[in-house]
Amino acid sequence: MEVSGRRVRRFRMRFRHSAGNYGGSVLPIRSGHAGGENPDAVISCCYCDYKISMFNEPIYRLGRRFSRVMKVWFSVGLGLGVASLVLVSVLLLLQFHPNAVSDRLLAAVFGLSPSTRVSPSGIVHVFISTVISVLVHELGHALAAASEGIQMEYIAVFMAAIFPGGLVAFDHDVLEALPRFNTLRVYCAGIWHNAVFCAVCALTLFLLPVILSPFYIHGDSPMVLDVPSTSPLFGYLSAGEVIVSLDGIRVHNPKEWLELAALLDKYNSERSNSSLGRFHHRKGYCVPLSLIEKGYKVEMTGNLFVCPGDLSAFVPMPCLRETTSSHDKNGKDDQPIRGKSMICLDAKDIVKLNKCGDGWVTSDTDEISCICSQGESCLHPVESPGVSWTEITYRSTSPNCSRIGGSISLVVNTSKNSPEHDCLGSFVFVGDLIATAHSVHLTSYQPRRVFSFGIRLPDILERSLICTFHVSLALVLLNSLPVYYLDGESILETSLEYLGWSSSRRRKKALQVCLIGGTFLSASAFFRIFVLGYL
């Protein structure tokens, strides 16, 4: 709530109180009316605004018509506004504690972290969300004042530096003539409306799958929205394709995609460290002997190996089960194969084969199971330290299953929940799995009918609701701060007057001390979050 009226009324005979966000007193250099009385626009070096009065009568009539209901509504908001002021003040005082959570809490409220990167589309979301949240805030002040019989003089939308905002102006004499409890209702109304708006955004986000269910499938598999050219998966996945599984484990949404990538990376690291150079805990494939004989064999030279073209290196996985002969339980003798050199094979052919070994997360035993069918041998890919070998299976909705890059396995999908002629493709990713998982943009929604813009609509709605939630919640905390020119100043002053605390002189002195301290602590908190947190 911007309270430039406090400064203005010291020099003018006509008093006016302004309720808004971020504002301050400015000197108008251009006016839409002669004499500068109630100008249409105000412009200064870092500030400009535009005043609107066409909504004065409709808002006033609405507030007076439902006056009783609104007074009860804003009385509840009064409690939240005062509680928010107390909570924010406590967080400011605790910010210097070694184990304080205030910095992390405030960073979470703003939806920011040191790793946050704001895209151009994200800036648009923030700007629109800010405008909507500010309008909701100011509508709360206007309706609360109207329910008390006070008509606003105008609504102003402004730009202070790069921050949009708004304010509503009232006759200060009329506002101050109200009982202190009624005045508090008006001051707390903006915070209350922003808090309710947060709850509306959260509820809508929760019900979004149900709302969009006639047009979209939710939670079946994540759909690719975008693969940046810098992503290792660029050329292997494209927009509109659906990720089915990682290493044969089904993925249902983007959150599971990230969690499973972290799990597989951790699992592979632990298995690799526990192996101590032996062929324990490896991912293997049952490769036919005929395919092995056609493979390109390369001799190891120290720790270096080379495979031609796009081929990958595989080595036989020794069976550690006790046997009475050189023959395994399938009757084949794989000792000659184990003794042979490394074999270079085409990974896109290998990933279609049956799996063996206990390096897969889905393995139920800690022992190596290298048993394959007769005429096959269990081979595992050669992995470098810190590098994961991961199978990614996806589904293409393209009618002709055309792809650019990657390896494709055409399969007729008979699932009732999927199109009849979907195509399943598989490729192997070798590298940093966690970083790669974060490099693609996914959504939990799949359109029931294929149309280009439709795949992005749920994501736009989700991001808008999340952004608006954070911005509206940020306005709740910002306007609750015991800082000059915000709602917190008016709420604190009026609360002290309502409680009849001490004499008028002592109240003013206590208010001044609280505001100076609150301004200093708030500046310190923002510096710690937005400056030190990003260094």
**70-128 pLDDT tens trace:** 999 999 999 999 999 999 998 888 877 766 555 566 666 666 554 555 667 778 888 89
Residues 234 and 190 in one domain: no
- Side-chain-facing half-sphere of 290: CA atoms under 13 Å: 2
Residues 302 and 425 in one domain: yes
Residues 360 and 474 in one domain: no
> Tell me, what's the pLDDT at 60?
93
211 in a structural domain: no
Residues 507 and 376 in one domain: no
Domain boundary among 396, 419, 448: 448
CA distance 490 to 183: 9
Domain span at residue 474?
4-206+462-534
The residue type of 257 is W
What pTM, to 2 d.p., does this model score? 0.74
453 in a structural domain: no
| Beta strand extents in 349-465 (DSSP E only) | 355-356, 376-381, 388-396, 423-431, 441-447
Structure tokens given for 208: 């979004």
Residues 471 and 431 in one domain: no
Please write the tens of the pLDDT for every residue from 55-86: 899 999 999 999 999 999 999 999 999 999 99
- Catalytic residue status for 462: no
Domain boundary among 448, 479, 509: 448
Residues 164 and 257 in one domain: no
| Beta strand extents in 214-349 (DSSP E only) | 216-226, 242-246, 249-250, 284-288, 296-298, 312-316, 342-345
232 in a structural domain: yes
Residues 349 and 243 in one domain: yes
456 in a structural domain: no
Residues 240 and 268 in one domain: yes
Residues 173 and 52 in one domain: yes
> Tell me, what's the pLDDT at 67?
94
Domain boundary among 448, 477, 505: 448
Task: DSSP letter for 354, please.
Answer: P
Residues 430 and 481 in one domain: no
Q: Given its phi and psi angles, is residue 489 left (phi above 0), alpha (psi -120 to 50 degrees) or beta?
A: alpha
Number of domains making up the chain: 2
Please write the tens of the pLDDT for every residue from 179-213: 999 999 999 999 999 999 999 999 999 999 999 99
Task: Give start and end residues of each alpha helix (H) in 67-223.
Answer: 67-93, 102-109, 120-147, 172-177, 180-211
264 in a structural domain: yes
Residues 421 and 475 in one domain: no
For the chain, list residues with pLDDT below 50.
Answer: 1-20, 22-37, 114, 275-280, 320-339, 363-368, 402-421
Residues 489 and 414 in one domain: no
Please write the tens of the pLDDT for every residue from 442-460: 999 999 876 656 788 999 9
Q: Which one, of 193, 156, 92, lies nearest residue 487 by Cα? A: 193
276 in a structural domain: yes
> Tell me, what's the pLDDT at 469?
93
CA distance 340 to 336: 6
CA distance 190 to 133: 10
**Among the options 2, 37, 57, 138, which is catalytic?**
138
* Cβ neighbours for 122, distance < 8 A, ≥ 6 positions apart: 463, 467
457 in a structural domain: no
Measured over the CA atoms of residue 55, residue 61, residue 64 and residue 66, the dihedral's sign is negative
